[in-house]
């Protein structure tokens, strides 16, 4: 668990469009270096939340602090500490990859600090996001996946302390998705960047996020690690093993301890040990289903 300072602090956030509340009493925190995933069905309020925290939308009520600043009052210096990867934009087709990143980087130079060298050198950044072969290509000639890597590079060029990723891998093929996950993990571990991402991909949330916040109908219905959420709903893991040619199955809330005791007692006689945790998908569907039932 991350114990660094709080980077994102949201308390009682509310957003109202006309007479309908699309965010109600949303409260969560993220700490320095933490990757937080916002999960939820269509219309749950993920993009609205992220846009409020980026300073692009005014909230109706509640408190929000992003890197110690109210996003409604964030200035240029504050903005330079954030990285934003939007759901894809298609301008700049005539620019070459290296040119665009070098150009955008100049904006951040005056916000460098003793600790954070800004901007990220265009060549190094291009290598880091896996676009070395496309560095001198025009942006309009990039494939969809390469274009998305460029979007990520644009979000990273100022070496952000906090990175917002809104559905970063929508439309990625499995290989591009895997590479993107490696990239995010690299950036997070190298620069201790805090990340808030929205996704519909449960597998992605489980792989990337230290913590998952599930939004449904504008409310938080769960907040915890993938394991905690699964245990809260499913309660118990399933342990399976074979001994003397016989299959055994046991349900327990502490499968690690159970497995240790099993080996202490029977040693090498234990074969084909399997521990099945409730999948995040099952947990998620249960959570969202419960929340929908409750609001009816
Ligand atoms: N400008 C707006 N005016 C009125 N209602 C809006 C506006 N923007 C969003 N909404 C409504 O707010 C709710 C939350 O939308 P939001 O885009 O935050 O959801 P989301 O969780 O990001 O959904 P998705 O997964 O489909 O991207 C939806 O019911 C949407 O229709």
The pairing of beta strand 82-85 with beta strand 162-166: parallel
Q: Has residue 276 got a pLDDT over 80?
A: yes
Among 221, 211, 192, 210, smallest CA distance to 284 is for 221
Token digits of residue 144: 């969809």
Strand order in the sheet with 246-252: 246-252, 237-243, 271-276
Q: What is the mean pLDDT of residues 35-56?
A: 93
pLDDT band at 30 (very low <50, low <70, confident <90, very high): very high
129: CA distance to ligand 1 center in Å?
30
Tell how far the Cα of 123 is from the centroid of ligand 1, in angstroms: 37
- Give the confidence band of 233 by pLDDT, cuts at 50, 70, 90: low
Q: Which residue has the higher pLDDT, 241 or 251?
A: 241
Across 141-161, average pLDDT: 89
Please say whether the beta carbons of 225 and 211 come within 8 A.
yes
Q: What is the pLDDT of residue 81?
A: 95
Q: Which one of 14, 16, 22 would you pick to mutate in the ligand 1 pocket, going by the greatest count of ligand atoms within 8 A of its CB? A: 22
- pLDDT of 13 > 90? The answer is yes
Residue 210 and residue 188 in contact, taking contact as beta carbons nearer than 8 Å: no
> For tokens 């509640």, what's the residue?
62
Other residues' Cβ atoms within 10 Å of the Cβ of residue 89? 10
Q: Which two tokens stand for residue 129?
A: 């996001």
Cα gap 157→176, rounded to integer Å: 20
- The predicted structure's pLDDT at residue 148: 82
- The CATH number given to 6-228 is 3.40.50.300
Asked if residue 47 lies in contact with residue 15, where contact means CB atoms within 8 angstroms, the answer is: no
Ligand 1 midpoint to CA 87 (Å): 14
Highest average pLDDT, of 31-40, 89-98, 181-190, 200-209, comes from 31-40
Section 157-186 average pLDDT: 85
Average pLDDT value for the chain: 88
Collapsing DSSP states into helix, strand and coil, what is residue 22? strand
Q: Which residues contact 268 (CB under 8 A, 6 or more apart)?
A: none
Atom 13 (ligand 1) nearest CA: 43
SS3 at position 41 = coil
Output the pLDDT for position 171.
Answer: 67
What pLDDT score does 234 carry?
A: 60
Give the Å distances, CA to CA, from 78 to 17, 54, 68, 75, 271. Answer: 27, 10, 9, 5, 56
Please check whether residue 156 is in contact with residue 76, taking contact to mean a CB–CB distance below 8 angstroms.
no
Give this prediction's pTM.
0.81
Provide the residue ranges of all domains of the chain, joining segments of one domain with +.
6-228, 234-295
pLDDT classification of 237: cutoffs 50, 70, 90: confident
Pocket perturbation via mutation, ligand 1, pick of 24, 26, 41, 46 by most ligand atoms within 8 A of CB: 46
Name 276's Cβ contacts closer than 8 Å, sequence gap at least 6.
Answer: 237, 238, 239, 240
CA 210 – CA 126 distance, rounded (Å): 27
User: Residue 238 pLDDT > 90, yes or no?
Assistant: no
* Number of the ligand 1 atom closest to the C-alpha atom of 49: 18
Most confident among 64-73, 193-202, 253-262 (mean pLDDT): 64-73
43 C-beta closer than 6 A to ligand 1: yes
- Ligand 1 center to 23 CA (angstroms): 10
Q: In whole angstroms, what is the distance from residue 139 CA to residue 136 CA?
A: 9
Rounded to an integer, the average pLDDT of 175-192 is 84
Beta strand 194-199 pairing with 35-39: parallel
**Residue 24 Cα, ligand 1 centroid: separation in angstroms?**
13
């Amino acid at each position: 668990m991350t114990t660094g300072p709080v980077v994102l602090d949201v308390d009682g956030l509310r957003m109202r469009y006309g007479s309908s509340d699309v965010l109600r009493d949303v409260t969560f925190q993220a700490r320095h270096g933490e990757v937080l995933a916002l999960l939820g069905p269509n219309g749950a309020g993920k993009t609205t939340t992220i846009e409020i925290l980026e300073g692009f939308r005014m909230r109706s009520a509640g408190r929000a602090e992003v890197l110690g600043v109210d996003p409604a009052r964030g200035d240029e210096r504050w903005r330079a500490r954030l990285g934003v990867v939007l759901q894809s934009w298609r301008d700049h087709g005539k620019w070459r990859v290296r040119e665009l990143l070098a150009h955008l980087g100049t904006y951040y130079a005056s916000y460098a600090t003793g600790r954070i060298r800004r901007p990220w050198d265009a060549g190094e950044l291009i290598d880091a996001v896996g676009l070395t072969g496309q560095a001198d290509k025009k942006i309009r000639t990039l494939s969809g996946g390469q274009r998305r890597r460029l979007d990520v590079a644009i979000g990273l060029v100022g070496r952000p302390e906090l990175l917002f990723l809104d559905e970063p891998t929508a439309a990625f093929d499995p290989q591009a998705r895997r590479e993107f996950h490696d990239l995010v993990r690299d950036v997070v571990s190298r620069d201790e960047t805090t990340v808030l991402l929205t996704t519909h991909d449960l597998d992605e949330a489980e792989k990337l996020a230290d913590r998952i916040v599930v939004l449904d109908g504008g409310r938080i219905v769960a907040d915890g690690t993938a394991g905690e959420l699964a245990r809260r709903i499913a309660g118990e893991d399933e342990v399976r093993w074979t001994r003397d040619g016989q299959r055994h199955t046991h349900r327990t809330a502490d499968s690690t301890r159970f497995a240790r005791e099993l080996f202490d007692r029977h040693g090498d006689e234990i074969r084909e040990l399997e521990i099945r945790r409730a999948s995040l998908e099952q947990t998620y569907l249960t959570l969202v289903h419960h929340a929908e039932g409750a609001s009816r």
